[in-house]
Amino acid sequence: MEQEQNVNKIGQDFSFGKLIKFLLPTMITQFFFSVFKTVDDGLFVTNYVGTNALSSINILFPYMIITDAVVFVFASGAAAVCSRKMGEGKQEEAKRSFTTITLMAFICLAVVSTFSLIFQKPILRLLGATDILMDDCVTYSTYMWLFQPIASIGVMFDMFYATAGKPVMSLITAVINGFTNIIFDYIFIVRMQLGVLGAAYATTIGNTVFTLIGVIFYMNRKHEIYFMKPWPHIGTLTKDVFSVGMAQFFNHIAISVSSYISNIMILKIGGEDGLAAYSIIGYLQWLVGSAMGGYADGVSSIFSFNYGAGNKERIHRYFWYSVKFLFTASAALVGICLIFAKPLISIYVQEAKDPEIFNMVYRGMMISPWCILFSGFGMFSARFFTAMNNGKAAAFISFMRNGVLITIVTLVLPILLGIDGIWASAPVSELLGFFTVFWILWRNKDNYALGKDQTALLIDNKV
């Protein structure tokens, strides 16, 4: 009965239209996450607290990415491993493995959270918090790090909804999380005037609700993935999960390092206003391009299932469906950024009120969003190799895209172009990253049925 249900979900034979329809909830989910975050930081923090408050929140981003790296090792690795086991017909093993990894992730995140709180101020200084920003940084980071284990497990639950055959749950939980956050933002920031502390309260409550819904969902034995007695072979399971999920760890570490360097560079060139502008551009690009990440996350479970089932024809077909969709959608999204730049910027800052910051952001929005043209394909390719149990290739792509290339470009271009070099760093590095991804895919075309003849050797860990 279980196997039958799986065939009706991630194991079914998708046409192009059916694939997009199935993954639509995960794409809309990521979009809603970005919309709610935009409303949270744009409408409330920027307009009711100030741009320095926004800078205080976003200066934490590089370190928050490091803590996220821990959960994504478990989440992406476990999702790939469990989906593969389901494809192999090992349903109970998949469920018990999911339970074990959830417990391990929570314990590890509690350790990370404790370390963060003990060394809070040194960490914030290292991140570049100035005297102007420090108090708000301490306030916001205290609650973010204290509740980090709960929030991060919610992210892990979210990545398993598609594997559990219920991708629409991602959308439902995202909407509930978002509206909870917005309601309490209004109460704490606008009505009670608690400033950054109010933003921290609202985010914490929203994340907690988000995670509790996941706990309730995975306690229901009617779903294809649910909590069971933990899998006893922890050593083997951990090795499998980490070998696949380590790509996401390197990806997040690389993003953290590059974000830290970008923050330091923009603070030197543009000060706190420059950092606020940089933060706004980052949010707007996330808002517009978020669906690409949702697609990459959602389709990876489908690839893992078919990898476990050895279905090379579907792997070939779904890969080229994805390429077709991603490049078409990415081109449209770049156009949206360029055409609707001013209305999008106005979510955060009004031209009449802060013309200097507005013009700085507008200039950046004419340059930076071109990275979306290639970033979706890069994200998808890393997820694809993770799904194919090739952690080495996935890690290499992630490390090159989000670490080596962006770091080099961010250090060099501002010297040559000033602040325009900051805005151009993402498009230039993503273009270079595209050629890197293409090379790795070409080397593996006969390994994963990517070529026309659909040769599929299915050799693990070929870079």
Digit-coded pLDDT (tens) for 331-387:
998 898 899 988 888 877 777 777 888 888 889 889 988 988 898 898 899 889 888
Q: What is the pLDDT of residues 54-96, one digit of tens each?
A: 778 878 877 887 777 888 888 878 877 887 888 778 888 888 8
pLDDT tops 70 at residue 461: no
Average of per-residue pLDDT across 187-212? 91
pLDDT tops 50 at residue 126: yes
Provide the token pair at 374: 């290639």
Query: Phi-psi bin for 227: left (phi > 0), alpha (psi -120 to 50), beta?
Result: beta
- C-alpha dist (Å) from residue 54 to 136, 269, 289: 9, 18, 21
Distance CA 369, CA 423 (A): 9
Say what the pLDDT of residue 192 is: 92
Average of per-residue pLDDT across 220-240? 80
Residues 6+ apart with CB under 8 A from 17: none
Residues 6+ apart with CB under 8 A from 443: 462, 463
Distance of CA 207 to the CA centre of its chain: 15
pLDDT-based confidence at 279, cuts 50/70/90?
confident
pLDDT tops 90 at residue 201: yes
CA angle 330, 167, 454 (to 5 degrees): 60
Sign of the Cα pseudo-torsion (283, 287, 290, 292, in order): negative
Side chain identity, residue 33: F
pLDDT tops 60 at residue 15: yes
| 6, 311 Cβ separation under 8 angstroms | no
Helix (H) or strand (E) holding 80: helix 61-87
Residues 6+ apart with CB under 8 A from 197: 139, 140, 188
* Range of lowest pLDDT (23-37, 116-130, 308-322, 448-462): 448-462
Distance CA 238, CA 121 (A): 33
Distance CA 380, CA 360 (A): 31
3-class SS at 324?
helix
Side chain identity, residue 260: Y
Expressed in percent and rounded to 5, the helix, strand and coil fractions of the chain are 80, 0, 20
Distance CA 109, CA 90 (A): 28
Burial class (CB in 10 A: 0-12, 13-18, 19+), 322: buried
Contacts 24+ apart (CB under 8 A), 346-350: 347/38, 347/39, 347/42, 347/43, 347/284, 348/38, 348/41, 348/42, 348/46, 348/54, 348/280, 348/283, 348/284, 349/46, 349/51, 349/280
Tell me the H-state helices in 119-233.
120-127, 131-146, 148-160, 168-185, 196-218
Distance CA 383, CA 292 (A): 12
Say what the pLDDT of residue 396 is: 87
Residue that wins the pLDDT comparison between 165 and 201: 201
The pair phi, psi for residue 48, each rounded to 5°, is: -110, -15
Say what the pLDDT of residue 42 is: 62
| 37, 212 Cβ separation under 8 angstroms | no
Q: What is the pLDDT of residues 134-177, one digit of tens each?
A: 898 999 999 999 998 998 898 888 888 877 778 788 888 888 98
Average of per-residue pLDDT across 231-255? 75
DSSP-derived letter for residue 452 is T
Say what the pLDDT of residue 456 is: 52
Q: What is the pLDDT of residues 377-412, one digit of tens each?
A: 988 998 898 888 787 888 888 888 877 898 899 889
- Mean pLDDT for all residues in the chain: 83
The DSSP line for 301-319 is HHHHHHHHHT-HHHHHHHH
pLDDT-based confidence at 3, cuts 50/70/90?
very low
pLDDT tops 70 at residue 1: no
pLDDT over 70, % of the chain: 93
Which residue, among 9, 6, 80, has the nearest Cα to 388 in the 3D structure?
80
Provide the token pair at 435: 């050629």
pLDDT-based confidence at 453, cuts 50/70/90?
low
